[in-house]
Structure 1
Amino acid sequence: MAAAMLGGREVARLLQVLKYTNRGYASQRTLNEVVIASAARTPIGSFQGSLSSLRATELGSIAIKGAIERAGIPAEEVKEVYMGNVLQAGQGQAPARQALLGAGLPISTPATTINKVCASGMKSVMMAAQNLMCGNQDVMVAGGMESMSNVPYTMNRGATPYGGVKLEDLIVKDGLTDVYNKIHMGNCAENTAKKLTVSREEQDTYAINSYTRSKTAWESGELIKEVVPVTISQKGKPDIEVKEDEEYKRVDFSKVPKLKTVFQKENGTVTAANASTLNDGAAALVVMTSEAAKRLNVTPLARIVAFADAAVDPIDFPIAPAYAVPKVLSDAGLKKEDIAMWEINEAFSVVVLANIKMLGIDPQKVNIHGGAVSLGHPIGMSGARIVGHMAHVLKQGQYGLAGICNGGVTYLNLAVGTYLYNRSVSPACHQLFRLLLSVHPHQECFHLLNCVGLSCGAPAVRGLAASAPPNHESGATIIKQPSLGH
């Protein structure tokens, strides 16, 4: 309705400005729109399970190759690769570089390995999106990889003391310990459970639901579409093909309420069943600018709308989402009611339960196909996995929000929206929208007809359809603020 009140002079002024900005005289550079062209992952293997013979970099290669093949683009189009990897000891130099070369990308392709603990995979996607938005690259691969089965033990250098030396497990030291409070992350989860009065029974019920949802998702085919099979070579034996997650089948619901607590023996609530597990796996996404998608004739799965970080006291890492979610919603110009699907990483069941309570969000929209409790949590992979899963599942026009906490402690959120249109909107239409928004800042969206005019009741505004340049490409669409970088 606000657009209908535009007067003839205002419309004429906007058209005049559009005329010149369409010639390339705009002085302010706008951010590129970033889309997810494809997302692929390996199955998630259990600790010392089906994928344990493969290093993290080998799993990463499989995910990268699968994502590029699904995007349907030549490997040479990928200009740079970011891969998250937490437990890097013993893997050799530059794990991300190893992964991209193993995937068959050109030797000239640069790579960066990201370590932000459990958020590494998502941070890789966010950093790639920033690179694309700024125009430094136009096609990238981002993701994460981890083989917790192959993480070594270590000992300190120096003279061997009488009585021997103590080996340290780097899974625990570098991946699962709050370095500031010198406690396991599970004790942080216990702290949150007590602060927010989340009971053992609530956590057990949530965990059972996670396993049930994952089983249903596999049986219905929701998860198979994102998984790339992994072939395991065996000496003197036939190859084994792993094409399904292992962890969700390894549960006996009758034993869940009877399990002993792991981290706090008295009044504890966190058990092996309601916490995530140690796992192996990798995930990768092909992300690109919308212009690159058009050039390569790629139909995107979704677009990246906004992302944000938030930091809290390290011991409170489970509730960091409650501080990050408002930031990303504000950046995206959305309300929590606009989110059709939430992916909150299930480091522990209490993480999800605490944030559902603090944020007041609908539990039925959260982790609808299960999560890390039932599928597994290869810590460098998980952030990329939940973004990729969301991109596959969101329906046309929906928004989803993925978030993951990490030790240290911060929490990352990334909002993804699916397209409301089939082809990229012209820069001239973007400019027109911004100009209209400057006149009517409270208007949430304008309806564009073939990207040449506004659909509303005022004849003067309808005249834009006839007056604007005729060379725009797109069907009728509703353009919301987040899709234009506001």
Structure 2
Amino acid sequence: MREAYIVESVRTPGCKNKKGAFRETRPEDLLSFIMKSCAEKAGINPIEIDDCMIGCAMPEGEQGINVARIAARMAGFPNEVSGATVNRFCSSGIEAIALASLRVQAGWSEVAMGGGVESMTYVPMGGNTPRPHPEFAKVEPEAYISMGVTAENVAGSYGITRAEMDEFACNSHAKAAAAQAAGVFTEIVPTPAYYYEPQADGTFKKTSKIISADDGVRGGTTPEGIARLSSPFKFGGGVTAANSSQTTDGAAATIVASKEACDRLGLKPIAKIVAYAVAGCKSEEMGVGPKYAIPKALKIAGLTIDQIDCFELNEAFASQAIHCLKELGIWGTDAMKKVNPNGGAIALGHPLGCTGAKLTATLLAHLKRTNGKYGIVSMCIGGGMGACAIFEMV
């Protein structure tokens, strides 16, 4: 297979659902804007993009009807540019980038786009009308289990304490606040948010405002300050809103090109995916997925964990992130400095199908700034899975 190079990777800010800056901005607007911005920043004519693979965990409602194709047209891409919506729940965004890369590696495309979108304001967790299969749900109810309950299961089964979870959450906010103050999120493209103001005649006036930063970061968060919160998932439990990922709205996009396309179009390679792996686990412990997916991807790549310069490990819940880090031998070592160095989803948000693409943009910007070589994007996945992509800077 031939080489496939990432030539650009960008994201919108991540904003809190229902309360954040994108609460009235439709997902197609977020996605089409970042797709267009990605092409512009890469310096590529959209006609060169063969296909757009876009992750979305809940592809219905405003982000249904093949949002990848709709957004490509809204972005002004020519009719010749096709699109497909990809769903592997929380890893949909990285799955989409991997598929775009595979298209180029296989010679099926010269240039492809991978990305992700999720508006958890418009389409809630689980979708608008979830309908579990009645007979199967009786046999295996864990297939439909609440994500929060799985986080409590992990905490209980593996001895993750409330104190550990709350401290982990506070560190996420502290790192994210420091990163924002230092201006390190260079992968963010300032993005228009739209609002609808009621008028005296009963109509609405559409207005907009440019959003430049993730709006869920709470600098100064302390373990004492969040200790009063109770678990909504289990009586006396330790998983709370404060030590779980924020439900978020956002979009991200990445362009992948062959060497021949890079040479022909004058594109500068940034990085490449050297391995991508997914692994299954128990549905009721879905958060442990990364502890299986990361070693699997490392084996494919022929790398060891100590060769990785940065881990973007999605903080779906503090309990599962802590457990995975302990199992991987990272927790309590100097290697922890490499994990989510600029904060994670507890502070920056988890826009489900966008997250893998969002973390890719953040990872590559960090590796470029720090002269790192290898980086990992990994997350647990609803239903009992884990995913891991390994990137190499070029």
What TM-score do the two structures reach when normalised by structure 1? 0.73
Output aligned runs, 1:94-113, within 5 Å.
94-113=66-85
Residues 89 and 36 (structure 1 numbering): CA distance in 2 closer, same or farther, change over 3 Å? same
* Residue-by-residue CA offset, 1:225-267 (whole Å, 9 max, x unaligned): 433322425555863211111111388535211111221112x
Check if 1:66 corresponds to 2:41.
no
Check if 1:246 corresponds to 2:215.
yes
RMSD: 2.2
Partners of 1:312 and 1:293 in 2: how far apart? 39
Partners of 1:46 and 1:95 in 2: how far apart? 21
Check if 1:46 corresponds to 2:19.
no
Residues 152 and 275 (structure 1 numbering): CA distance in 2 closer, same or farther, change over 3 Å? closer
Partners of 1:349 and 1:70 in 2: how far apart? 35
* Residue-by-residue CA offset, 1:395-442 (whole Å, 9 max, x unaligned): 4461011111111222111100111xxxxxxxxxxxxxxxxxxxxxxx
Check if 1:376 corresponds to 2:349.
yes
Residues 353 and 174 (structure 1 numbering): CA distance in 2 closer, same or farther, change over 3 Å? farther
Check if 1:191 corresponds to 2:153.
yes
Output aligned runs, 1:36-435, within 5 Å.
36-48=6-18, 49-91=20-62, 92-151=64-123, 170=127, 173=130, 180-232=142-194, 234-235=196-197, 236=205, 239-249=208-218, 252-253=221-222, 254-266=224-236, 268-361=237-330, 362-395=335-368, 396=371, 398-419=373-394
- 1:182 Cα deviation after fit: 4.1
- Indicate the SS of the match to 1:180: helix
Residues 182 and 234 (structure 1 numbering): CA distance in 2 closer, same or farther, change over 3 Å? closer
Partners of 2:260 and 2:42 in 1: how far apart? 15
Q: Is the 8 A contact 2:150 2:286 kept in 1?
A: yes
- 1:285 Cα deviation after fit: 0.6
- 1:222 Cα deviation after fit: 0.8
Report 1 or 2 for greater relative contact order, CA contacts < 8 Å, sequence distance ≥ 6.
2
Q: Is the 8 A contact 1:226 1:392 kept in 2?
A: no
Q: Is the 8 A contact 2:165 2:318 kept in 1?
A: yes
* Residue-by-residue CA offset, 1:331-369 (whole Å, 9 max, x unaligned): 111111100101111111112111110011221111111
Residues 46 and 251 (structure 1 numbering): CA distance in 2 closer, same or farther, change over 3 Å? farther
Task: Find the counterpart in structure 1 of residue 202 from structure 2.
Answer: none
Q: In structure 1, give the amino acid aligned to 2:88.
A: K
Structure 1, unaligned stretches of length 5 or more? 1-30, 154-168, 420-486
Partners of 2:80 and 2:50 in 1: how far apart? 9
- 1:296 Cα deviation after fit: 1.6
Q: In structure 1, give the amino acid aligned to 2:174.
A: T
- 1:382 Cα deviation after fit: 0.5
Partners of 1:218 and 1:303 in 2: how far apart? 27
Task: Find the counterpart in structure 1 of residue 201 from structure 2.
Answer: none
Partners of 2:242 and 2:91 in 1: how far apart? 22
Partners of 1:123 and 1:174 in 2: how far apart? 25
Task: Find the counterpart in structure 2 of residue 34 from structure 1.
Answer: 4
What TM-score do the two structures reach when normalised by structure 2? 0.89
Partners of 2:53 and 2:175 in 1: how far apart? 31
* Residue-by-residue CA offset, 1:314-347 (whole Å, 9 max, x unaligned): 1121111111111111111111110010111111
- 1:181 Cα deviation after fit: 4.8
Partners of 2:299 and 2:206 in 1: how far apart? 56
- Indicate the SS of the match to 1:135: coil
Q: Is the 8 A contact 1:43 1:230 kept in 2?
A: no
Structure 2, unaligned stretches of length 5 or more? 198-204
Partners of 1:345 and 1:173 in 2: how far apart? 25
- 1:96 Cα deviation after fit: 0.9
Partners of 2:174 and 2:69 in 1: how far apart? 37
Q: Is the 8 A contact 1:301 1:392 kept in 2?
A: no
Partners of 1:124 and 1:150 in 2: how far apart? 22
Residues 151 and 127 (structure 1 numbering): CA distance in 2 closer, same or farther, change over 3 Å? same
- Indicate the SS of the match to 1:189: helix
Q: Is the 8 A contact 1:343 1:390 kept in 2?
A: yes
* Residue-by-residue CA offset, 1:44-64 (whole Å, 9 max, x unaligned): 111112112122122111111
Which is worse superposed, 111-120 or 299-308?
299-308
Structure with bigger gyration radius: 1
- 1:82 Cα deviation after fit: 0.5
* Residue-by-residue CA offset, 1:182-201 (whole Å, 9 max, x unaligned): 43111111111122211000
Q: Is the 8 A contact 1:211 1:374 kept in 2?
A: yes
- Indicate the SS of the match to 2:310: strand
Partners of 2:390 and 2:318 in 1: how far apart? 22
Q: Is the 8 A contact 1:309 1:411 kept in 2?
A: yes
Residues 245 and 135 (structure 1 numbering): CA distance in 2 closer, same or farther, change over 3 Å? same
- Indicate the SS of the match to 1:380: helix
Partners of 1:206 and 1:314 in 2: how far apart? 24
Partners of 1:174 and 1:406 in 2: how far apart? 19
Partners of 1:63 and 1:322 in 2: how far apart? 32
* Residue-by-residue CA offset, 1:364-391 (whole Å, 9 max, x unaligned): 1111111111011111110111111111
Q: Percent identity?
A: 33
Q: In structure 2, give the amino acid aligned to 1:394.
A: L
